[in-house]
Structure formats: structure tokens, C-alpha cells
A and B are shown apart, each in its own frame.
Chain A
Amino acid sequence: EAGVAQSPRYKIIEKRQSVAFWCNPISGHATLYWYQQILGQGPKLLIQFQNNGVVDDSQLPKDRFSAERLKGVDSTLKIQPAKLEDSAVYLCASSLGPRTSREQFFGPGTRLTVL
């Protein structure tokens, strides 16, 4: 079974530029999560989707971050404009759903460096 796919793996941008990350969850997984992992810290949930609807985006900085999950499969996370403090690894995870297995499977992440 293929795991969670993410691209790109690495991205370097200058502050005030925009950037987008892509995630393809495990086939059949209804729930998709985006996490931010700052160096030396544990992952922090940014947004959770159930199919193509947002379940929780309480920790998403909505003035600069946006995410969508069209058709309930792939998802993109965008930052516009980026700040220095956005440098982090952005992890995507997926799970079958709230009424089945809630184990979350993580992708390898996208390492973002903002200069």
C-alpha cells in the first residue's frame, strides 16, 4: 500500500513570496491533516479535513495560510506571503476516518526555508 505522498520535498523562498505544498493521502482515507513542525518541536495541527470539508482550522493563521481539498482526495496548503517564522517542515497525514481507524499515517513532509 502506497503511503502519503508530498511534494516538493524541499523549498527555499524569500520572505513575502508565496509557496504551495501538495499532498496525496492514502487511497480511501477520508480524513486529511496538515501539520507544521518547527525545528526542535513536535508537530502542530494546522487544519483537518473530513472528505472535502474543514473539521478544524482553529490553529491555521488564516491571514496568510490557506488550504483546500477539492474532490475529497488531494490537498494543497498555501502560504502567502511567507514570513521568516514559517520556516518549518509541513507534514501531511491521513486516516480512514473518525468512525473507523483513527491512526494517522504521516507523509515525509516538505521542508520550507524562508530567507
Chain B
Amino acid sequence: QQQVKQSPQSLIVQKGGIPIINCAYENTAFDYFPWYQQFPGKGPALLIAIRPDVSEKKEGRFTISFNKSAKQFSLHIMDSQPGDSATYFCAARKMNRDDKIIFGKGTRLHILP
């Protein structure tokens, strides 16, 4: 059973465009939703995260939008750059329980110069 569903699988955007990656979850016990960025040959690195009591969070060019009632959240990258080309994973955690990170399947993003 896939607990965190991520789409699209891959995405190609022109430089300066705004790629949007979507995720959905089922388990309402999740209380922390991080996004990870992974470059080839590297491990995932935490990019930005949100708790369900907040509808939006911005850090630099990265924004998470969170819809608790729909159990969906998304990552937006403003003014995207070729250096943003990477694989992005949404994830969910139950910080007050077993604290496991449940990852989505990932989105391979390519920003055209």
C-alpha cells in the first residue's frame, strides 16, 4: 500500500518557469510533511517541511502549499534554474509516534536552460 502518492513521475520546465509537484496521503496520523531534494550520486537532503496546521510555507524560491481537508500538499519552485534539476521526494512522518519517514516515489525534474 502506497501511503504517499506523488505526481508527476517526471517534469521538464523552461528556466524561469514554476514546476509544481503534487503529493497526496491517506493516514491522518501524519503530522509532518518534508520535501527532499536528491542529486545524482548523492543522498536525499531536506529542502523544506510543513506541519498540517499551516497552509503555506515559503523558503527562498521553494513554497509548500498544504490542503489538510483534501490530504494533499504540493511543492512550487519559483524562478526555476538549471541547478534545480534533481529528483524531488515528498514524504510524511508521524513525529509523535513511530517517526518513520514514508517517501513518495519521486519526481525527476529537469530545468531547460
Binding site for B on A (CB under 8 A): 4, 40-45, 48, 56, 91, 93, 98, 102-109
Contacts and interface: CB of A to CB of B under 8 A. Distances in A.
A41 B104 CA distance: 7
B100 interface: yes
30 contacts: A4-B43, A40-B105, A40-B106, A41-B103, A41-B105, A41-B106, A42-B6, A42-B91, A42-B103, A42-B104, A42-B105, A43-B44, A43-B103, A45-B100, A56-B98, A91-B43, A91-B44, A98-B99, A102-B99, A103-B46, A104-B46, A104-B101, A105-B45, A106-B42, A106-B43, A106-B44, A108-B41, A108-B43, A109-B42, A109-B43
Interface of B is mostly: loop
A20 to B, nearest CB: 19
A45 B101 contact: yes
Interface of A is mostly: loop
Interface of B: 4, 6, 41-46, 89, 91, 95, 98-101, 103-106
Nearest to A89: B43
Contact of B89 (A42, A56, A93): A42
A102 B101 CA distance: 11
A103 B42 CA distance: 17
Given A56-B98, A102-B95, A107 B103 contact: no
Given A56-B98, A102-B95, A108-B41, A44 B103 contact: yes
Contacts of B99: 98, 102
B46 to A, nearest CB: 6
A9 to B, nearest CB: 8
Contacts of B95: 102
Nearest to B41: A108
Contacts of B103: 41-44
Given A41-B106, A44-B103, 12 more contacts: A40-B105, A42-B89, A42-B91, A42-B103, A42-B105, A42-B106, A45-B100, A104-B46, A104-B101, A105-B45, A106-B42, A107-B43
